A and B are shown apart, each in its own frame.
Chain A
Amino acid sequence: MSDLPLRSQLAVALGRTAAKMSRLAGRGDGSVIGGRIGLRLDPELLTRLAKDRKLVLVSATNGKTTTTRLITSAMTPLGEVATNAFGANMPTGHVSALASAPGAHYGVLECDEKYVPMVLRETGANVVALMNLSRDQMDRAAEIWLLAGKWRRALEASPQSHVIANCDDPLVTWGASTAKSVTWVAAGQHWREDSWCCPECGGPLDRRDTEEDSDWACRQCHFRRPRPDWTLKGDQITDPQGRVFPLTGLSLPGRANRSNALVALAVVAQFGVPPEQALPLLAQVTSVAGRYTTVEHQGRTMRLLLSKNPAGWLEAFDVLQPAPGPVALSINAQGPDGRDTSWLWDVDYRILRGRPVWVTGERRVDLAARLEAAEVSFTVVDDIDQAVMSVPPGHLDIIANYTAFQSIRTRYGRVV
């Protein structure tokens, strides 16, 4: 840090001041504005800040914030770790994260899928973790086949980067397979509607799932699932040496988080942290940026779940209280949510039949039309308070998309 050129030091200092002022003004954690000012003064700032550090980039459509958090926790034995814990996952956020931890030799950076090539080029990250690609809000996200192609070119041009990739996701496998060295992790794939075709040749993919294993291969070309180095079966993890560990103490719920934990173990093993040391550190993560948090209000215990796209809804459904536990759903369509609600029709809501369901958010009418078509009974309310006060005291699961989630979090306390 002290060997940064003067201009860069100034850029960091001004960025930090701006971030602090933004925080004082109550506008989030300030990392985006701080990074933006820093980059404007010194466009090379990210490269300079990344120099001489060991960096991990974490990218996926879903689970990148959580996995970043898990990896960061498991890397604490190595010393201070810089990270963008608040989901500011573009270069401005990366600059902030690195600038605010000048002494950290390690960094774990959540990276927006589209920015992987650019951030890889500027930081030369040592490890890149790639987990899943699925349809996301298309008015803001890129087309995923195109995106995976860009990952391929970026990784080919970055031979020093070691990749940890989920071989159960065919598109991620294709995106990662130009890397010089890859650790394949069988982290599972629950949403499959975007991977029926071979990314290499467009031919049909044949998929086979048994209790023991899940496999896929193209019917027309050589492209097939690589042999995994790490596997997860139920709660049993097997590492590349064939050692088996139970993944039982995890505090975060659901199969998606077990997958995230497996990826985290593979990443930190790359830095010499063995699973037996990493597992208790993963267990210490109880909530991530308010997700999975439980908040108490008027005798109701509410659990907040964030779901931004169809694959995310599958993950949320997986951790619901058993039926007939009540559920409140809140949907907005502001910029960060995607302004188009078409994706609601990719989610199979029939799983909510037989529960009391409350519907709210700015696009509650879209959701009502969707649930009606799925023959799910529901009650539409004007705001989340009405839903909360309508359920009897006890547990309530709340699933919301991005801005809806943030407003509920603000309403009931910003627990991190």
Chain B
Amino acid sequence: MSSDRIKIVWIYPDLLSTYGDQGNTIVLERRAALRGIPTQTVSLRSDEPVPADGDIYLLGGGEDRPQILAAQRLRGDGGLARAVQSGAVVFAVCAGYQLLGHEFGGEEGQPVQGLGLLDIRSTRGEQRAVGEIVGDVAAELNVPRITGFENHQGVTHLGPNARPFAQVVHGVGNGDGFEGAYRGRVLGTYMHGPALVRNPGLADLLLRWAVGRDLQPIDDSWAGRLREERLNAVMG
């Protein structure tokens, strides 16, 4: 954290914000505020340069064409890669997750070059994965079971330098029994939209990475009830 507040950079909501992605920004702001940590959020349009001094960068979901445009502009800009090198936190969902990798599938399934910030490659699958997803998170991250909604047609293969974020308990995820990927503080997931809403533990992981210390517990009653309800709906 560069100063006494967390700077959140929401990357390209004009391209990558199909469906409730704003929720992740709201959840991070609120969970920080409840602990007395001020935040500053920048909604960065795709014609603006990516600032280097962000603490947490968020990337949302998008349709094929906007995803390709976002990848091109972020590659041309280079700011996100520099921020990652200096230790920034990146949380990316769905189309944003795919474009962090070496390449992903475009409208016609053609390979499109990504940012190479995660050692993953994505292609277009045969079937669209739509529905609830549940997974058990890699032990070293110390985050409880995740619950989310996925809606994508991607299949993602992890290279040796990326670790799977979670093991799928219900749903599809990357397509090989695992869900999402991370390396260092760069984390991507197929849980689309406001993934942090149902997963306050994951939101706190990102905040912990940003501030570099443990955080005091806060009242999670509604998020907790929502988690429980969704997990019960799927797992019975």
Contacts and interface: CB of A to CB of B under 8 A. Distances in A.
Interface of A: 135, 138-139, 143-146, 193, 196-197, 202-204, 219, 339-340, 342-346, 365-366, 368-370, 372-374
A204 B47 contact: yes
B222 A372 contact: yes
Contacts of A368: 222, 225-226
Listed from nearest, the 4 A-B pairs whose CB atoms lie closest are: A345-B23, A342-B193, A342-B20, A196-B14
Contacts of B26: 345, 373-374
A34 B104 CA distance: 45
B20 A366 contact: no
A340 B94 CA distance: 15
Contacts of B45: 196, 204
A369 B222 contact: yes
Given A145-B63, A202-B65, A373-B27, 17 more contacts: A143-B63, A143-B64, A193-B13, A197-B15, A203-B47, A219-B47, A340-B193, A342-B20, A342-B192, A343-B193, A344-B23, A345-B197, A365-B225, A365-B229, A369-B197, A373-B26, A374-B26
26 contacts: A138-B19, A145-B65, A146-B63, A196-B13, A202-B69, A340-B19, A340-B193, A342-B19, A342-B20, A342-B192, A342-B194, A345-B20, A345-B21, A345-B194, A346-B20, A346-B22, A365-B226, A366-B226, A368-B225, A368-B226, A369-B197, A369-B223, A369-B225, A370-B197, A373-B26, A374-B26
Given A202-B66, A345-B23, A193 B17 contact: yes
A372 B13 CA distance: 23
Contacts of B223: 369
B183 interface: no
A360 B135 CA distance: 29
A268 to B, nearest CB: 35
A342 B149 contact: yes
Interface in B6-52: 13-15, 17-23, 26-27, 30, 45-47
B151 interface: yes
Contacts of A370: 23, 197
Contacts of A202: 65-66, 69
Contacts of A196: 13-14, 45
Contacts of A343: 19-20, 193
Contacts of A339: 131, 149
